[in-house]
Amino acid sequence: MDEAEDGDGGGGAFCRLRRRARLRLLRMHYESGVGHIGGNLSCLDTLLVLHHGVLGPADAFILSKGHAAGALYVALWTLGRLTDEDLRAFHGEDTRLSGHPAPGFLPEIPFATGSLGHGLPLAAGMALGKQLRREPGRIYCLTSDGEWQEGSNWEALIFAAHRRVPLTLLVDANGLQGFGTTEEVAGQGALSDQLAAFGVPVADVDGHDPEALRRACAAPPEPLGAPDGGVRVVFARTRKGHGVSFMEDRMEWHYLPLNEAQYRQAAREAGGGDA
């Protein structure tokens, strides 16, 4: 990432990267006939910022929000870790790229995730391992906001905050889940405030502002008594279906695949001309 990066408007390296990734994500989902596109688009910026501007050789990433596997695969594709041939096999027979991340073929995908509420406990355990072995680096874990209706996440946060492990928790807060808004399904009020109540620093940012995300994820360690700064939270406020007008803030795009006309419109809006 460079100083020319910016948000949705203008040019810049990140805008070019985002445009390329969006187009490839849309094409991959269209060709495979697979849904979950809205939630992939809401977190794509976060994954691109992490993989291009934050994660170092000693760090690791866990996608707890496993139904956004497509965004993770495309982020790895932009790094050259996956090929076009790999992406063409997305969700197919005998594929390595299943609908939820599966481990065993890339070090960047250490665990199978997608049963919501499991990724953060795994990440907390990995962070504890780093702490006990006095290894450098941090563990980064991306959850959805609806996922915080799972009790396992709160138990993991209690543990991680108490042990002050080197963990950065990111929340893709798009306000929608499978059956409605997060407030309609199981309202919890201000989730960011509840996370802060555990004594961890919370950065509440625009999840589509790459520089705000980068600063929050790479913030200097807080003086929490741990040499690596312990747990911190990045609460990324995003829009489901971000960048495609007919998908934005629409719950049905948690599920729906694209037909040809929708794909062509989405690709035009993503900056690729007529697909």
Residue 187 in this model has a pLDDT that exceeds 80: no
The token pair at 131 is 């702490």
Q: Stretch 123-138: mean pLDDT, rounded?
A: 96
Q: Which residue has the higher pLDDT, 25 or 183?
A: 25
pLDDT, residue 273, reads: 55
Residue 243 in this model has a pLDDT that exceeds 70: yes
Q: Stretch 247-263: mean pLDDT, rounded?
A: 93
pLDDT, residue 154, reads: 96
Of 271, 257, 248, nearest in space to 19 by CA? 271
* Positive or negative torsion for Cα 189, 193, 196, 202: positive
Residue 267 in this model has a pLDDT that exceeds 60: yes
Q: Stretch 227-233: mean pLDDT, rounded?
A: 79
Residue 186 in this model has a pLDDT that exceeds 80: no
Residue 3 in this model has a pLDDT that exceeds 50: no
Q: Using CA atoms, how far apart are residues 145 and 186, in angstroms rounded to an integer? A: 11
Least confident of 3-17, 140-154, 231-245: 3-17
Of 101, 200, 111, nearest in space to 156 by CA? 200
Residue 52, SS3 per DSSP: helix
Q: Are 28 and 74 in contact (CB under 8 A)?
A: yes
Residue 114 in this model has a pLDDT that exceeds 90: no
Percent of the residues in the chain that have a pLDDT greater than 90, as a whole number: 76
Residue 178 in this model has a pLDDT that exceeds 90: no
Q: What is the mean pLDDT of the chain?
A: 89
The token pair at 174 is 């798009």
Q: CA triplet 200, 204, 206: central angle to 5 degrees?
A: 150
Q: Using CA atoms, how far apart are residues 216 and 4, in angstroms rounded to an integer? A: 18
pLDDT, residue 135, reads: 94
pLDDT, residue 179, reads: 72
pLDDT band at residue 221 under the 50/70/90 scheme: low
Q: Using CA atoms, how far apart are residues 123 and 138, in angstroms rounded to an integer? A: 10
Q: Give the containing element (helix H, strand E) for 82.
A: none
Dihedral of CA atoms 229, 213, 118, 29 in degrees, nearest 10, equals -160
pLDDT band at residue 182 under the 50/70/90 scheme: confident
Q: Are 41 and 72 in contact (CB under 8 A)?
A: no
pLDDT, residue 41, reads: 97
Of 74, 19, 54, nearest in space to 215 by CA? 54
Q: At what angle do helices 13-32 and 69-78 cross, to 10 degrees?
A: 130
Q: Using CA atoms, how far apart are residues 270 and 244, in angstroms rounded to an integer? A: 7
Catalogue all structural domains in the chain, each as residue range(s) with its CATH number: 37-66+100-253 (3.40.50.970)
Q: Using CA atoms, how far apart are residues 93 and 184, in angstroms rounded to an integer? A: 37
